[in-house]
Chains A and B, each alone.
Chain A
């Protein structure tokens, strides 16, 4: 029995953006990866037990595959193309202490790719540490340790960014 359209639509609206963000941690063709994952989901006979974990896995594999091909191409090319994709929607101005989304993006880009993936998967994709451990094939304790370390680095970078922005010129 094929998965119904309504279920795919519901999963799309719930997770597509977060999965795109997860793919962006590794490659520049994030939306292609997400679409590919949903196409594969639609071809399944029945819904996976944990759809978001399954989708994350497929998106991650797609992103890694894309990254590899991108990397090979970039090695051949003389001029490296910098894709300035924005990762987050603009910060909410009503919030008392908004985080500059560009500073956040920069801070995330400065992280190690595996740490960045763990962070994004936990915070925005909403995966549990156990799911992330299965996704990344790392021990659960190591996932948690890397997440904590990455958050501390991120906090430092964001604080530094805020201080430099607030400092008088």
Chain B
């Protein structure tokens, strides 16, 4: 290091220029990642004006085409398989009971001659009798009976359970029950039966041994 301040500064300026000529190591971080973090990629941007906006995203398209069609195909295959198994059982049964079918009788006519669109508890005895009198039952109509029993019936039952739950929930709410808020005893956390809205204010002490807890449909018998 020199003692001359002028020379020292000029040396430092020269060093500064030499240092400035060296480029910093280029960053390996990508600008695309910055943009991804502030908003989704352009290909996934939903065009809200378009009803098919969600299909613009390739991820959604892959998911929906793969998983969605796969699920539909699996359901169809399952229904077809169960229907085929049922029809095979029916066919074998039919083969053994052909003679019985040809001579109308009460015992046989009631079961295989159920209506094609069978709805549980809606077919009256007179209907089945009327159909049994015609006795023109073919194998195809029997197959469809099998499909109903193993396919449509199952779906219908599922839907009826869901609707019943919704109906019960609505009925409870109309009666003033809050489904999402229940009261717990803070000491043992046991759920306290909650009888009616009118007793809500009277049964709840004010001395902090009660607290509001969050819950859902658990604990409420629907």
Contacts and interface: CB of A to CB of B under 8 A. Distances in A.
Whether A and B are associated in the same complex: the answer reads: yes
A38 B34 contact: yes
A89 B26 contact: yes
Given A12-B31, A35-B33, A123 B16 contact: yes
Interface in A52-102: 85-89, 91-92, 95, 97, 99, 101
Contacts of A18: 24
Nearest to B38: A42
A155 B12 contact: yes
A42 B34 contact: yes
A151 B34 contact: no
B1 A16 contact: no
A136 B45 CA distance: 41
Contacts of B18: 97, 99
Interface string A33-57: 0110011001100000000000000
A152 B1 contact: yes
Interface residues of B, number: 24
B93 interface: no
A124 B1 contact: no
A16 B29 contact: yes
A154 interface: yes
Contacts of A34: 27, 29
Contacts of A95: 21
Contacts of A31: 27-29
A28 to B, nearest CB: 13
Interface residues on A, range: 35 or more
Contact of B29 (A35, A42, A148): A35
A109 to B, nearest CB: 14
A87 B25 contact: yes
Contacts of B168: none
Contacts of B31: 8-9, 12, 16, 38
B48 interface: no
B34 A152 contact: no
A87 B24 contact: yes
Given A39-B37, A156-B1, A17 B20 contact: no
Interface of A: 5, 8-9, 12, 16-18, 20-21, 30-32, 34-35, 38-39, 42-43, 85-89, 91-92, 95, 97, 99, 101, 104, 123-124, 148, 151-152, 154-156, 158
5 contacts: A20-B29, A42-B34, A88-B22, A101-B22, A148-B12
Given A21-B25, A38-B31, A92-B21, 18 more contacts: A16-B27, A16-B29, A30-B27, A31-B27, A32-B29, A34-B27, A35-B34, A35-B37, A39-B34, A39-B37, A39-B38, A42-B38, A88-B24, A88-B25, A99-B18, A154-B15, A156-B1, A158-B15
Q: Which 9 A-B pairs have the closest CB atoms?
A: A31-B29, A21-B24, A20-B27, A42-B38, A17-B24, A89-B23, A38-B34, A151-B12, A12-B31
